[in-house]
């Protein structure tokens, strides 16, 4: 009976190599403190996979800075058309049927514009609320210029 209680068997979904690769991808744009929550054993990361756009939470789209920076979105779509596929980062909270984007809003829109399902890391988190809710606000290279001029308006992600 002991083999029935093997911890690996009950481990939450995710891939340790994907978690390390995600941390590496985020390293340049997010400070170490902002990424600390990703190291928790309760947080699991799936290797990049294609997501059906219907599985993504687009509710906040009108408030995303990416929705006001369509020039950048078109640039991303062109890169995707040329085979340059950078995964977006989504969070899946317990009980949710949708993946919420926490990094890569321009990329998500670029994939859709290029008529491809977004390539995404899915980060499984243990709670509805947590540091992932404010993660995007800590981005280092966050542009403040929209297609319509300068703005101080932040993305409304929650």
> pLDDT tens digit string along 70-81?
999 999 999 999
Which residue did the predictor score with more confidence, 141 or 86?
86
Lowest mean pLDDT among 12-16, 49-53, 55-59, 79-83: 12-16
Q: Quick count: other Cβ atoms within 10 Å of Cβ 145?
A: 13
Pairwise CA distance, residues 45 & 125, whole Å: 9
* Contact criterion met (CB below 8 Å) for 118 and 86: no
Identify the bridge partners of residue 124 per DSSP, sorted by sequence position. 44, 92
**What pLDDT, on the 0 to 100 scale, is given for residue 26?**
96
């Amino acid at each position: 009976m002991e083999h029935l209680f093997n911890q690996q068997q009950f481990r939450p979904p995710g891939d340790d190599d994907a978690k390390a690769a995600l941390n590496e991808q985020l390293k340049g744009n997010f400070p170490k403190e902002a990424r600390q929550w990703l190291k928790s054993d309760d947080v699991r990361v799936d290797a990049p996979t294609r997501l059906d756009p219907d599985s993504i939470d687009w509710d906040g789209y009108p408030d995303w800075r990416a929705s006001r920076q369509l020039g950048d979105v078109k640039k991303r779509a062109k890169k995707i058309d040329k085979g340059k596929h950078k995964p977006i980062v989504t969070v899946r909270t317990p009980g949710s049927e949708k993946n919420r984007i926490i990094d890569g809003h321009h990329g998500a829109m670029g994939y859709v514009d290029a008529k491809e399902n977004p390539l995404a890391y899915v980060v499984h988190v243990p709670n509805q609320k947590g540091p992932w809710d404010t993660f995007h606000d800590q981005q280092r290279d966050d542009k403040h210029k929209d297609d319509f001029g300068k703005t101080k308006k932040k993305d409304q992600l929650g």
